Chain A
Amino acid sequence: MAEPSQLSQYIESFVDSSHSPGQQAASLEAIASLLKNNQLTIETLVREMEGYLTTVDNVIRSRGILLLGEVLVHLASKPLDDATVHSLIAFFTDRLADWRALRGALVGCLALMRRKSSGGMVSGTDAKAVAESYLQNLQVQSLGQYDRKLCFELMECLLERYPNVVASLGETLICGICESVDGEKDPHCLMLTFHIIEVLSRLFPDPSGALADVADGLFEILGCYFPIHFTHPKGEDVNIKRDDLARALMLAFSSTPLFEPYAIPLLLDKLSSSLPSAKLDSLRYLSDCTVKYGVDRIEKHVEAIWSSLKEVIFTSPESDLSFTSESLEGLDIPKNGIAAEALSLLQKLIVQNTKLSLDLIVGDEDINTIFNMISSYKNYHEIPSEIKQRLHAVGRILSTTAKASQVSCNRVFECFFGRLMDILRLSARNSSGQPDSDESILISKICNHGALYLSIQLLSACRDLIASSETILAASSHTEETWKSLLQSFSPSLTMAFCSAFICSSEDTHDADMYFGVKGLLVLATFPGGYLLISKTVFEKILVTFVSIVIMDHGKILLWKLALKALMQIGSFIERYHDLEKEPSYMGIVIEKIVSLASAGDISIPFPLRLEALSDIGTSGRSYMLKVVQGLEDAIYANLNEVCVHGSTNSAEIVTHLLRCYSDKMIPWMRCAKGFEEVLLQFAINIWNQIESSMVFSASQTNERGVLDALIKTMKLAVASYSEEKQTIIVQRSYNILLSTISFPSEELFQQERFQTAEVDNSSGRDEWVLSLFAAVIIAVHPQTHIPNTRAIISLFMTTLLKGNVAAAQALGSMVNKLDLKSTGGQTSSDCTLEEAIDIILKSSLWIFQKNNSSNIQAKITSVHDTGLNNLCNGVGSCTSLQIHAIVGFAWIGKGLLMRGHEKVKDMTMIFLQCLQSSGRANVSNQEKGVSENNYELDLHHSVMKSAADAFQILMGDSEQCLNREFHAVIRPLYKQRFFSTIMPLLQSLVMKLEPLSRRFVFRASAHIIIDTPLVVVLSDSKKIIPMLLDGLSALSNDVADKDVIYGLLLVFTGILMDKNGQEAVSDSAHTIVNCLIDLIQYPHMMLVRETALQCLVAVSRLSHARIYPMRTQVLRAVVKALEDPKRAVRREAVRCRQAWASIA
């Protein structure tokens, strides 16, 4: 039991208004926790507070009551006995009359009313007493906003939790509520008010009951809120939006059918408002009311609603139909919200009052006028735009009507379909009968596009209706339907009409003609239910038409696209509905022909289009994909054979296209679709078989390169998608072929004397193919996949990469990236761990770069090769290229190590740094020699240094060709960041040491690193990086070859300027930066650099005024020159920049 003195202290500190809100809340918490822990009973509390609750001082009394109320809020989950609850609620009920201390009473009532049944609830009689006291004493509208809100919450709570008790109050309750909500304006309170009315109406559903008498009064209060005009500024009431209010009001509107005589006229009236939001709201409310008021009540309004709706649909602004292939499915979804809402209301109306509304629609004069009018226009584009708008409106109305139900569909077909056919002058005939040739000529002369449009609308609505009903069409259930018989009898001639739409007007074919033709045929072809509705002949005729367009008519690009898209949709439709009857036709007609496109050489259609057709059709379904892939593969094998054996240039081009299609379109789809692994594996194995079998290899160097690249890419992607077991199969297979082809190099090959011979060794084209493909396989495997005879393969790749085969280098990089750190045991001696592999690599070829004075790196291996580099440096030109190949190869190996976070990458990097340094010294020493020799040597060395600098790009850049997630690389998180922070200090100190001439390459190397490091990392280090970056920008700006690097650096710089921390770092060296940027404004080699430099200057102008003001004149003078830039984009940027700097005065 708590000390009484302490309790009274708490109470005093809450009641005393001189204490801060924080203290008051704390003491409230303290009292509540005392009660919760049973250290205090409510009875004691009330006794203690007696003085506060009964004093005549209004302020203290109201605080006292509030304290009791708030305490009860905290005790919501604590069980209380009934007697306590009863006496408390009686007290609060009584206090409702005390308007000076009302807040506490409201809080207390609400807290008690909301109690769960488990912990002691307020009894029915007490609730009734509360309601009575509420109605008798509270003048809600004279209270403040928060009190009003509490009042409404209390009433809401009463209505929801004690509906029967309060309902017995009858008219008093209704009148009281009316009185209390009348004139409410606060959004929070309004939400409650609307809900109260909604619940109240549900309490009195009796059409002759208490509510019926006052319905008009109640609706008068409600109606004046419609449409919601919400003007609250954005800052306050963030949690209530206009839409919430509109929705709450809608529920209140539709809560009882008794509102019908008042609501519907009001809504119809507001529907004609010019305010779009009012229109939209009216339509939504009408939809809701229609559903909830019921058939009888709405019946008398149907006519009025229809005429208003028609008005809305006819006048809603609508953009023109688009005739692109993308819009082929879903021709007519109104983008306009109002029209969409109107149509959905129409549909509800039809479902509810089918007979009446259908009579109205069928008998409507406007619709009939349109039907009369369209017969006078032949072509779609001849129709004036306003009539076109009305035509579209009619199309939508009819389509919505037909979609609503079977009955309405029937009725619409009965009344309109025949008329359309009359306008089109089509005759009904037996579904098997072929229209004779005379008639088809007749049709081709008169095709009325307005009527075609409407027929398409009707047909697609009908199709959607069947598709959505989901019931399988049994022959018996539909024979009596009128639309069905009409459809069956007209479909052949309709097909003719649609065909003629794009065939007849070949002279001046418009987009609309083709679009309608294709769309119509597509709709006919995608009727569900096999051949029940659309006969087999018709369906096949449609397919043949489309296929012939795809094969022959590539000149009309839109028509071609539309037809292809239509075929895709028919295909995916058959797949979706498992239409067993139609599938054979589709396979036979479409797939066969399309697949033949891959191989047939005599057709005039251009190759890219053929491949587009192949991949599009293939991706529309699994079974099609299997066939298409089969066809594509056959074509690839055949052409590949041509290339390998006969060296055919033509076939080389074809096979490159085919492979690209296979790798870009088919493989990604098959990877997503799952279950195609076997197909892909077979493909790779077949390719290997073919390589193996073609012993005569006469592909010439020029055309084989493209084929080989495409083949490597395809092989990589295919292998990457396998599981590990499948990968092991293909690795083994390819290794066997490799063994039979190539003799493995012996260890001694890496002796310097033999290197020259390795370089000139002319291995055959076939060897290169086998090696490159094997490299491709190795690049794409999982880390777990077993690679046989690792040592030998590493040595093999080492020799290959020195010949300039990048794929081999990438494969080596992948191998060191994925090799196991430790030997797993049980493996043969030919396998090796990562350490061993690195040793092999480093030992075998490091000497290329070793000089006498750099022995500190790898002391143990330098002694043998002391003379190596000197020989090479003074040797023939090919040795430079050898060095470059070696550097590129090392870069890829280094990348593999770097990505897995291996420490040996440091050794690799040191080699590159040595190259950057040592060649520089060689230059100096060469300069001392003669001029003639000097030029030659300088050039050579520069290219080696450049490639050493570019090695950092390989190290840091994300490659698409290998070592990425797709090819299962081991990637250690933050590896770029780590490398950046270790290497940058080294490069910075290197810059200090070197002569200006060779600094350029160090800058290039560091630029590559800065560009490829994530910007966040650069930003955190921006103070140190900015000087380096600026020096780089000025040092590299003289050479054209560095333009991409310059651009990359500038982009990084833009990033720094945009960041808050970056800006701080920048402002220290603002002067240097501005000078550097001003130089770049005139950068002659690349427009983007000039443009970005100007953008940077704009960003600089936002730095602190004191820093940049001194440079203002200088910048403005420089920018005026940029106004005369030959490029428009630069001029535009210059204007912005000038304005930015002019305005800082």
Chain B
Amino acid sequence: MTLGLINANPVVHAKKERVARTEDPHGDDAVDPLEIYDILLLILILLDIRDPEHPYSLEQLSVLSEESITVDEKLGRILITFTPTIQHCSMATVIGLCLRVKLKECFPPHFKVDIKVAPGSHADEESVNKLLNDKERVAAALENPNLRQLVDECLYSNEL
């Protein structure tokens, strides 16, 4: 967890005003970017708590935003593009891994999830993308007990 040390003075974006969703008691709720965003924001806030050096939430740092998530419910595809705070962010893979695990848990298996680093936002963009979308490598990463523990902490520590 050295995010704060690498990037001591991040650019801070204004917190977006959350529009309360109007609940429609009769219609069906389709899966939409906001829902995914809400789910993922939980992880991000957790990552954030683990890093007291940064007084801002990762939402404010605009690592992820509602616009960076696209969903196609008919085809069952979710595409997520996130932006690491700086070019050499060592956390990029961990963040990506957390996102993937969380989505796997929250959506039915027929959804195909693609996770990408925003173009130009990371020095090693291609390899990070490759790593995050390679089933075998994700599985291998999750077999690593240290990495698994880190991911689990990020995902579940709020529920303890």
Contacts and interface: CB of A to CB of B under 8 A. Distances in A.
A1126 B27 CA distance: 9
B106 interface: yes
A1138 B28 contact: no
A1123 B106 contact: yes
B28 A1120 contact: no
Contact of A1123 (B29, B35, B108, B159): B108
Contacts of A1139: 105, 156, 159
A1124 B25 CA distance: 17
Interface stretch (A143-151, A332-340, A578-586, A1127-1135): A1127-1135
A1124 B106 CA distance: 10
Contacts of B159: 1139
B107 A1123 contact: yes
Interface string A1132-1145: 00010011000000
A1123 B105 CA distance: 9
Contacts of B25: 1087
B52 interface: no
Nearest to A1088: B25
B27 to A, nearest CB: 9
B120 interface: no
B109 interface: yes
Nearest to B30: A1126
Contacts of A1120: 108-109
A1138 B29 contact: no
Indicate the member of A1128, A1131, A1138 with the most B CB atoms within 10 Å: A1128
A1123 B25 CA distance: 18
Interface string B138-160: 00000000000000000010010
A1128 B106 contact: no
Nearest to B110: A1124
Contact of A1128 (B29, B105, B107, B109): B29
Chain A interface mostly: helix
B108 A1135 contact: no
Nearest to B152: A1143
Interface residues of A, number: 11
B29 A1135 contact: no
Interface residues of B, number: 12
Nearest to A1122: B108
A1126 B108 contact: no
Contact of B108 (A1087, A1124, A1127, A1128): A1124
A1127 B28 contact: yes
Interface in B74-89: none
A1139 B155 CA distance: 11
Interface in A739-777: none
A1135 B105 contact: yes
Interface in A1097-1126: 1120, 1123-1124, 1126
A478 to B, nearest CB: 49
B35 A1135 contact: no
A773 B73 CA distance: 58
Among B28, B105, B106, chain A packs the most CB atoms within 10 A around the CB of B106
Contacts of B109: 1120
Contacts of A1128: 29, 35
A1127 B105 contact: no
A1139 B105 CA distance: 8
Contacts of B29: 1126-1128
B119 to A, nearest CB: 31
A1126 B28 contact: yes
Contacts of A1087: 25
A104 B91 CA distance: 64
A842 B107 CA distance: 61
A85 to B, nearest CB: 61
Contacts of B35: 1128, 1131
B28 A1131 contact: no
A1138 B105 CA distance: 8
A611 to B, nearest CB: 26
Nearest to A1136: B159
Contacts of B28: 1126-1127
Contacts of A1135: 39, 105-106
Contacts of B39: 1135
A116 B25 CA distance: 74
A68 B107 CA distance: 76
Contacts of A1123: 106-108
Nearest to A1127: B29
B104 to A, nearest CB: 11
Nearest to B21: A1128
Interface string B38-74: 0100000000000000000000000000000000000
Contacts of B107: 1123
Nearest to A1123: B108
B13 to A, nearest CB: 16
B135 to A, nearest CB: 19
Nearest to A1140: B159
A1131 B109 CA distance: 13
A1052 to B, nearest CB: 23
Contacts of B108: 1120, 1123-1124
B26 to A, nearest CB: 9
B156 to A, nearest CB: 8
22 contacts: A1087-B25, A1120-B108, A1120-B109, A1123-B106, A1123-B107, A1123-B108, A1124-B108, A1126-B28, A1126-B29, A1127-B28, A1127-B29, A1128-B29, A1128-B35, A1131-B35, A1131-B106, A1135-B39, A1135-B105, A1135-B106, A1138-B105, A1139-B105, A1139-B156, A1139-B159
Ranked 5 nearest A-B pairs via Cβ? A1126-B28, A1128-B29, A1123-B108, A1135-B106, A1124-B108
Given A1124-B108, A1126-B28, A1131-B106, 7 more contacts: A1123-B106, A1123-B108, A1128-B29, A1128-B35, A1138-B105, A1139-B105, A1139-B156
